[in-house]
Amino acid sequence: MQDKIIIIVILAIIAILVTLTVGLFFASILRRGLHDRKYRELDRLRSRYRAMVLEALASGRISSLWIDLSAPPASSAWQAVEEVLLTLMTDGKHSSETAALFAALGYPAFYEKRLTDRNAQARAQSVNKLGKMKNSASVPLLIPLLDGQNREIASVTVRALGNIGGNTALGAIVDRLPHLIGNGLVAGKALETTLLAFGPEAAPALIGRLTGDLHPHAAAIALEVLSRLPADERTISLAAERLGHENPEVRSKALKVLGRPEHLSSRPDLSGRIAPLLRDPVWYVRLQAIRSLSALKCAESMAELGALVSDEKWHVRNEAARALLLLGDCSLDFLIEALTGRDQYAKDSICEEIESTNFHALLIGHLAANDDSLRDKSLRILEIMYTLGFSIPLEEYRNSVHGAPQNGDKAEGQVTGL
């Protein structure tokens, strides 16, 4: 009897599992069919509304089109209209007309109501939509979202305010830089990208923020953005004041601001303030100091730059070698000294940079020079490179020589003898 009961139970379980499997299978087919039908309908509506909007734009009657595009919120027609208008907004050709049409159709008002939704994902989606619609009237409602602790909301709000633009949105982000970056709510790169989107108008706001006591990471972001915007004397002075900052990231970004040629050429005294940072204990500060002095092409710093060709970090070694090459002929003596030294890393860095920067073309050009000293130094460097395994420059020159030499007999004879 017990065996029969067990068999019945097992068969019942199997029957239930089979029924569930079949049910799920048919439900999946039904769901897929409904989705296909929905997407086909969306495609049809998108094509229809896109044609209507483009025709209205061409004929100049876009302001009256909202009557034809009105649809119940969240319906297929509503979604289709939104997607069509967002595509046109992204193109940028008709952004003002599209933004006005969004407002007339009630899209911003719909998503503004959802900013207080309990579901964080729904709030984030609404913020994102408002940013894409570039509705400036939504800015006062978006700004308070920057003061919370939700990373997703803070990040999407920063991006949305950047899309909308304007001084109010810019000021809100700049004022909250310490909160946003100090609490890890928004990534530094995302903040930099957003602030740069405001263009030159971001500079005064950032300069004003830097004049006060600012969180080091926030100060570094402000300086990074300023390094990529047109700057005035205030920017240069603020950056120069932070060359001795305790935070290495701030020192590095301050150097980046000062490393622009137009800044250094107008303030030659800056080279003397930058040079000590070539000895900074943090490698990326040394790297940026090299780049800044390279922009000035300061021959007075050759010895200090040369010392960094033996730096422990390959990034610094290569950058120092590149900076020396930018000094041109006045660096030949130092290059020979370094290439005949014992530091193999320094030798390799110099040779690699000579090839990658096409400096070898300058050296080869000197082989036909009337200046014996210049010719001999250039030949010496090429010969050392050849012995170190960097033979391409000499071989290229040797293969390009045809017929009797006209100038630089001594140099050409030695080259072809290799």
pLDDT digits (tens, 9 = 90+) for 48-77: 888 888 887 777 777 667 777 888 887 888
Note the pLDDT of residue 171.
94
**CA distance readout (Å), 185 to 123, 168, 179, 206, 224:** 16, 20, 8, 19, 19
Q: Are 150 and 121 in contact (CB under 8 A)?
A: no
Map residue 160 onto helix, strand or coil: helix
Give the up-direction half-sphere exposure of residue 7: CA atoms within 13 A in the CB hemisphere.
Answer: 4
In the structure encoding, which two tokens stand for residue 46, read together?
């998108």
Residue for token pair 């296909």: 36
> Distance between CA atoms of 37 and 28, rounded to whole angstroms?
14
Taking only the tens place, the pLDDT of each residue in 79-138 is: 888 888 888 887 767 788 888 888 888 999 999 999 988 888 999 999 999 999 998 999
Note the pLDDT of residue 140.
95
Q: Note the Cα 28 to chain centre separation in Å.
A: 43
What is the rounded average pLDDT of the residues 135-161? 93
User: Nearest 5°: CA angle at 115, between 109 and 121?
Assistant: 125
Map residue 274 onto helix, strand or coil: helix
**Confidence at 38, pLDDT banded by 50, 70, 90:** low
Q: Are 141 and 112 in contact (CB under 8 A)?
A: yes
